[in-house]
Structure formats: C-alpha cells, structure tokens
Amino acid sequence: MAKKKQAEISQETQEEALQIAKKTQKPGQTKEQTRLIAQGIQKGIAEYKKAAKSKQRQADKARKRQQKAQPQVETSESAPATQKKPKNSALLPWTLLIISWLGFAAYLFTQL
C-alpha cells in the first residue's frame, strides 16, 4: 500500500518537496529528518492537488448543468416570441393598408 502512494506522487512533486525541505532545513537537522519533512510536504501537495481536482470537477459539473439548462430556457422563451412576431408583423401592414384606403376614400368623398 505504501508503494502505491509513492507511485501516485510524481517525480516533480518529490523533487519540489525535497527542495522546500532543504530550504527550511535548520542547523543540526539530519538527512533523515529532512527526508521525513519532505515526505510530509509531498503528502500536503498531494492533498492540495486532490482537493483542487475535486473543486475543478464540481465546477465543471455545475457549468455543464448550467449549459444544459440554458438552451432549454432559451428555446422555451424563443418559441413563443417567434409565434407572436409573425402575428404582429402580419397585422401591422394590413392595418396600415386599411387605414390608408379609408383615408383615401375619405379624401375622395370630401372632393366631390
């Protein structure tokens, strides 16, 4: 089981943890103590990466849910709008035509 955990930690992470441990090394500290500190730092980095991946997964799931919900809302809103538009646009020219003919007829009757 310990071999699995070591295999999960990348070489870059191990090197980074060792560098950090060496930078914080105190005088009189043995190599074994530095190695143990480096292992603790590795575990911390692994936990941080695991938490970051989990947060990223949750954010992706939320974004996908939002994207799935958004097109449904748009289609349900756009369908009634497209149905209303032709009625309004079809009524307007006919109304204007009738009003103009009535006005023309009124003009002709007033000229007689």
**With contact defined as beta carbons under 8 Å apart, do 45 and 17 qualify?**
yes
pTM beyond 0.85: the answer is no
pLDDT computed for residue 55 by the predictor: 95
11-23 helix and 31-111 helix, angle to the nearest 10 degrees: 120
Q: How many CB atoms lie within 10 A of CB 41?
A: 19
- Contacts of residue 46, defined as CB under 8 A and 6 or more positions apart, other chains included, come to 8, 9, 13
- Average pLDDT for consecutive 10-residue bins of the chain (112 residues)? 59 87 88 91 90 94 89 57 59 90 92 80
**DSSP run (H or E) holding 28:** none
Check residue 105 and give its pLDDT: 93
pLDDT value at position 62?
92
Q: Are residues 17 and 8 in contact, defined by beta-carbon separation less than 8 angstroms?
A: no
User: Alpha helices of 1-112 — where are they, by DSSP H?
Assistant: 2-8, 11-23, 31-111
The pLDDT value recorded for residue 23 is 87
Tell me what pLDDT residue 106 has. Answer: 93
What is the reported pLDDT for 80?
Answer: 55
> For residue 110, what are the CA distances in angstroms to 30, 99, 103, 106, 107?
115, 16, 11, 6, 5
